[in-house]
Structure 1
Amino acid sequence: MRTHGATVWHWSASVKAWFIFWFARIFIKPIMSWWPATDRGISVLSRLDRRIDKLLPRPRGVDIDAVTLGGVPGERIAPPRPATDALAGATVLYFHGGAFVFCGLATHRTVCSLLAAKSGVPVYSVAYRQLPEGSIGTSVMDAMAAYTAILAVAEDPTRVIVAGDSAGGYLAMKVAEIAALRGMTRPAAVIGFSPLLNLNLEAHDPDYMKRDAYLPMSQLEKLRDKWLDGPDHIEGAQSPVDADPGIFPPVFFSVAEYEITRPDVEIVTEAIEAAGRPVETHIWAGQVHAFPVIGQTLPEARALLDLGIDFARRAVATEDNRRTA
């Protein structure tokens, strides 16, 4: 492990992690590259979560209830034991990844359950609208509707932590940005696992971008027009990389060494650090994009979840000390 400023490098990777990396590179990436980024192809992917929901067993040790937040369907995952430390009274609002095309409550139920169990706080996971039902602007609207509703039902609205992976990390950062722009109660912290922070990914070195284990740049470039082709405007900056870094609450990022989101994670990390705001970023060798989502089977993923929760705990405690000072 090596620390440079706000960035921590992790060089060790388990045998299981390397197996997942090369399995994704050899088998998953060709399938992703071949899959048609047409309306029909997207519609098929959009039904993936419903199919997985019928196949996967529900996580044990947590209570899962269906909820609606601001008209957005979701789930509330309650931990077996409530937190008694600085996170007591906190709430996590989680946005799943999936390139604004696929995944949902079922695909991310395990990581949300682990977050709830490890932190001792309830985790709300929301099924925001995606392509082909709506563009990114629509997804952002749903995310803000869910966040506004969370502020009304959370035990302590000043202790709401917004989190997400990939596209969900984009939404978590947009919620923090828009809440600041609107003068709302801001999130206590943001946790982003391989967050998508720039919709213009083609701006980076194409040779590096090809090294992602399973995400093909060619497909994401095809999706970009669809991401932005919708009636709902994206409030604030189109990409979080272009937002004012000084308005963000404490931010925790993680990213794999070779993945398409890393360049912008590093850019935003440096910008937030330069603005004097708390930020902590972990770069991990031998991992795939959004690897914490498979936290039940991967030791590095479980370790990273613990790091993110500890960061949120410190952020909440620091804010409490500031208020009482």
Structure 2
Amino acid sequence: MTTEQATTEQATTEQATTTQAATENDPLKDLYTDWSEILATTEGLTVRLFRSIFDEWHQPTAEPTDVTYEEGVVGGVPGIWCRPVGSDAGQVLLYTHGGGFSVGSASSHRKLAAHVAKALGVQSFVLDYRLAPEHPHPAGLEDAVSVFHGLVDSGISPQAITTIGDSAGGNLAVATALALKERGGPLPGAVIAFSPWLDMENKGVTLETNDATDALITRGLLEGMIAGVLGDSVDPTTPLANPLYADFTGFPRLYITAGSVESLLDNATRLHDLATAARVDSTLSIGEGQQHVYPFNAGRTRAADDEIAAVAAWYAR
């Protein structure tokens, strides 16, 4: 891994590239390729079946050792606690799963959340927030905010909470901090976004340039998910729905990662540029040759394990 650092008066910007060996298998890419085939050839795919398919997201992830799981409710929102042995119960990752706001679950993401929690020496709560289209924006965001307040009410310091998520969950991790800032309350100590999906206008340039190399994401797939979460009533430039239109002044320190071949790459780079311009301590890590949310390969590929180790080093800084 190589790291280049640039420092402004009030912000530190780091850019890193993680390279996966050409001969290394990529279980996540294999899963995405299979999903894409199913989506392209299955007629009349119901919401229930669509969600069932995406609950396989955990399959590329090795089961982490020395972690216990417990179902729970925080702030009125159900989810799964990931508790690594010996972890600091006073430090919590508030994990919002990906899935276009409409699929995915705490179960599909518990192993990934546990790998990150174990590396950081903390505990993680993975939300089962309300999903679109039954519950459009801002239902998922309000659930994440409720969990944040529930953790604080239980005695966890706001600064000891990190909002973290992948894809649409990365959007929610960022938007949760923005919503708390907008309301004038305490903020989380940090935000982590894996391959965040932020652009509700579907205008990203890498939707075109990386279309041939991304094994899952297409403009059409995103269009359907945008329609589900925003409907006809929410403007796609609403900052809490599309953080690319947000004011990041006073935002917590931020870690962003994405794969170099994924179609949502420029969501990550644009977020980093916006945060840096607002003098936020922002770190951007690009996994060379990696797919969407490549840390899902935790325990299976060196690229994923190295990236999680980099997050842990950043967290401990």
- Alpha-carbon distance in structure 2 between the residues aligned to 1:27 and 1:49: 11
* CA drift at 1:19: 4.0
Question: 1:233 Cα shift?
Answer: 9.5
Cα distance change on mapping 1:30 and 1:247 into 2, 3 Å: farther
Alignment match of 2:314 (pick from 291, 311, 318): 311
Residue 286 of structure 2 is matched in structure 1 by 283
**In structure 1, distance between residues paired with 2:75 and 2:29:** 41
Distance 1:298 1:176 in 2: 31
| CA RMSD of superposed structures (Å) | 3.0
Deviations 1:191-245, CA, capped at 9 Å, x for gaps: 0110112112235365314132221221211222112028899985330111002
Q: Which runs of 5+ in 2 are unaligned?
A: 7-12
Contact map agreement 2:204 2:266 (CA 8 A) in 1 = no
Deviations, residues 242-288 of structure 1 (Å, cap 9, x unaligned): 10021320000000002122112111211211221100000111111
Query: 1 CA distance for matches of 2:90 and 2:115?
Result: 18
Q: Does 229-238 or 100-109 show the bigger shift? A: 229-238
- Structure 2 counterpart of 1:321: none
Cα deviation, residue 100, structure 1: 1.5
8 Å CA contact retained: 2:239, 2:245: no
Please name the residue that 2:142 is paired with.
141
- Aligned counterpart, 2:48: 43
Residue 259 in 1 paired to residue 266 in 2? no
Summarize the alignment of residues 151-300 of structure 1 with structure 2, pairs less than 5 Å apart: 151-204=152-205, 206-211=207-212, 212-229=214-231, 236-300=239-303
Partners of 2:269 and 2:110 in 1: how far apart? 28
2:234, 2:130 → 1: CA distance? 12
Question: Number of matched residues?
Answer: 307
Q: Is the 8 A contact 1:24 1:214 kept in 2?
A: no
* Cα distance, 1:41 vs structure 2: 2.6
1:70 is aligned, of 64, 75, 97, to 75
Q: Is the 8 A contact 1:49 1:106 kept in 2?
A: no
Deviates more, 1:17-26 or 1:154-163: 17-26
2-side partners of 1:242 and 1:250: how far apart? Answer: 18
What's the TM-score, normalizing by structure 2?
Answer: 0.85
The more displaced of 11-20 and 179-188 is 11-20
Question: Any idea what SS the aligned residue of 1:201 has?
Answer: coil
Task: String of CA shifts for 1:90-118, please: whole Å, max 9, x gaps.
Answer: 21111111111222122111111112222
- Give the drift of 1:52: 8.2
- Residue identity matched to 1:280: T
Partner residue in 1 for 2:95: 94
Deviation sequence 1:46-105 (CA, Å, 0-9, x none):
24577889xx9975411211111122111111121135xxxx832111111111122212
Pairs within 5 Å for 1:27-42:
27-34=34-41, 41-42=46-47
Report % sequence identity. Answer: 22
Check the 8 A contact 1:246/1:277 in 2, yes or no.
yes
Counterpart CA distance in 2 for 1:57 and 1:307 is 19
> Does residue 10 of structure 1 match 2:13?
no
Contact 2:295 2:305 (8 Å CA) reproduced: yes
Query: Which residue in the other structure is 1:23 paired with?
Result: 30
Partner letter of residue 127 of structure 2? Answer: V
Code of the aligned partner of 1:158: Q
For 2:142 and 2:232, the matched residues in 1 are separated by 12
TM-score, with structure 1 as normaliser = 0.83
Q: Is the 8 A contact 1:94 1:162 kept in 2?
A: yes
Q: Which runs of 5+ in 1 are unaligned?
A: 315-325
